[in-house]
């Protein structure tokens, strides 16, 4: 229990640090361009303490669930004093305002990359995409009653060794089986299971696609019942080629830079897919509140993520803990750039709308129009705030009454 509580607190602290750095990104870039930053606070609610350095007040508030950076004149509707007016944010060039607004998300991406690099250089990066890169090629395949027998067979002369005999090597990436693409190792397993006999494989090796003919062998394997995971495994005959796939990718300190960059790109793609799937998964969250089994792919709140982080530490799964922390930073960073008010992406969209609109007006010989009237967008903003608040309430409730668990 102590390890679980430590994990929950540590993950929550990681989130607080992420939020603090997000707001620091806004502050640092605003000051760099000469904008007036009035206040920088971590948290909300009553003030714990504050102090002033130069023209900016810094402080900590009691509720560590956010923070804010108060930049004078973020919109033309903000009240500014006469001495602040020349340095009001809305008066600056479009690209400078964009940099300041995007700096918060940029800090999430940088922090996520740093976490991934540290993982790559120490414990390895998880093969979360299921890349079918061959980790090892077995000397034989045999009937087995356990995963231990499968991964470490006691080979005898004459035992079949399909992958080894075909010339498959560690590091090969299996790209197709019998002409069917296999982007993940689950696809490889699904394609191979029903097969027996000579089969056409394609592997990517040193950038080239190499065709191989593998004599798939039928062997007995234990298979868990997906509908009843507590039941003893069934012994069934399946096709096997005698390879294993890595659960993590290991790197040296230098190679970890490239590995982390590649993994970061994959994370951006996966994050975007999760955002597109987000609305259709909300009904499952509602159903879980009323007793339905919680789908592990449903959205979680900060509460749920912290609980999972606590379980990961309790089970010694630090790779999961750090991966979850990096994932959360990428998700928040991308989500915050969506062109919706009151998100930073919404303010960026308004800024560039003004720029394009004024460019079109100049082409027609007209003077530039004034700043966008945010009061006309207040109704849309309020609707989005209410929807966002409702989603947060639903996910927090689900994470309390029916949380996603990683432990049995």
Is 200 among the residues known to form the active site?
A: no
Tokens 């400078």 sit at which residue? Answer: 96
Please say whether the beta carbons of 139 and 160 come within 8 A: no
Return d(Cα 97, Cα 87) in angstroms, integer: 12
Residues near 255 by beta carbon (within 8 Å), at least 6 away in sequence: 120
Please say whether the beta carbons of 18 and 69 come within 8 A: no
Q: Give the pairing type, strands 136-137 and 243-244.
A: antiparallel
DSSP 133: B
Longest C-alpha distance within the chain, in Å?
A: 90
45: left (phi over 0), alpha (psi -120 to 50) or beta: left
No. of helices (H) and no. of strands (E), the chain: 10, 11
Return d(Cα 190, Cα 168) in angstroms, integer: 19
Q: Give the pairing type, strands 136-137 and 234-240.
A: unpaired
Residues labelled as active-site residues = 23
């Amino acid at each position: 229990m102590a390890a679980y509580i430590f994990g929950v607190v540590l993950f929550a602290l990681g989130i607080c640090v992420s939020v603090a750095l997000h707001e620091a990104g806004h502050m640092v870039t605003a000051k760099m361009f000469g904008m007036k930053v009035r206040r920088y606070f971590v948290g909300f609610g009553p003030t714990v303490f504050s102090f002033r350095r130069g023209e900016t007040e810094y402080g900590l508030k009691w509720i560590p669930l956010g923070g804010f950076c108060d930049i004078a004149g973020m919109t033309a509707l903000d009240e500014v004093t006469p001495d602040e007016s020349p340095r009001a944010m809305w008066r600056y060039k479009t690209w400078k305002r964009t940099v300041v607004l995007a700096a918060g998300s940029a800090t999430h991406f940088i922090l996520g990359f740093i976490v991934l690099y540290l993982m790559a250089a120490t414990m390895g990066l998880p093969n979360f995409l299921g890349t079918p890169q061959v980790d090892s090629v077995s000397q034989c395949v045999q009937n087995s009653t356990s995963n231990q027998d499968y991964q470490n067979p006691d080979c005898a002369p004459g035992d079949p060794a399909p992958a080894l005999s075909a010339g498959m090597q560690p590091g090969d990436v299996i790209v197709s089986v019998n002409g069917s693409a296999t982007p993940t190792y689950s696809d490889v397993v699904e394609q191979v299971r029903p097969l027996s006999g000579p089969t056409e494989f394609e592997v990517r090796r040193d950038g080239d696609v190499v065709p191989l003919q593998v004599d798939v062998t039928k062997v007995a394997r234990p298979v868990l019942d997906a509908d009843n995971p507590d039941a003893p495994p069934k012994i069934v005959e399946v096709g096997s080629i005698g390879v294993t796939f890595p659960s993590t990718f290991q790197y040296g300190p230098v190679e970890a830079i490239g590995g982390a960059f590649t993994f970061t790109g994959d994370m951006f793609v996966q994050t975007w897919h999760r955002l597109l799937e987000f609305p259709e998964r909300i009904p499952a969250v509602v159903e879980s509140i009323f007793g339905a089994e919680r789908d592990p792919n449903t959205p979680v709140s900060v509460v749920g993520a912290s609980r999972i982080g606590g379980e990961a530490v309790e089970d010694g799964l630090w790779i999961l803990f750090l991966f979850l922390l990096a994932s959360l930073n990428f998700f928040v960073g991308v989500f915050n750039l969506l062109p919706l008010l009151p998100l930073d992406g919404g303010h960026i969209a308004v800024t560039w709308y003004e720029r394009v609109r004024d460019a079109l007006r100049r082409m027609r010989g007209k003077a530039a129009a004034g700043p966008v009237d945010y009061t006309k967008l207040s109704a849309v903003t309020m609707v989005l705030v209410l929807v966002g608040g409702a989603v947060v309430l639903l996910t927090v409730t689900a994470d309390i009454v029916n949380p996603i668990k990683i432990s049995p």
